Amino acid sequence: MPTAAPRDPRATSTPATPAPVPFRPAYPEIELAFHEPFFFTARRPAASVQAQGGAR
């Protein structure tokens, strides 16, 4: 029987693992709440909102 070819030292003994799943928050609405436009609009003081004639 022919002998096995010399093993490539660069080969890894572990099988290829699937790509990791990207992080997904458990509550997407929480992530949406921190997008900049809504975040800064929601944190604006009520006095300035009324001064601009916004929601009362």
CA distances from 28 to 24, 31, 32 (A): 8, 5, 6
Q: What is the pLDDT of residue 20?
A: 72
pTM of the model: 0.13
Q: Where are the domains of the chain?
A: 28-56
Q: Where are the beta strands (DSSP E) in 1-56?
A: none
Q: Is residue 47 a contact partner of residue 53, using CB atoms and an 8 Å limit?
A: no
pLDDT tens profile 16-53: 677 777 666 566 565 555 555 555 555 555 666 556 66
Q: What is the pLDDT of residue 18?
A: 72
Q: Is residue 39 a contact partner of residue 33, using CB atoms and an 8 Å limit?
A: yes
Q: What is the pLDDT of residue 19?
A: 73
Residue 36, both tokens: 């900049």
Residue 31, both tokens: 């992530």
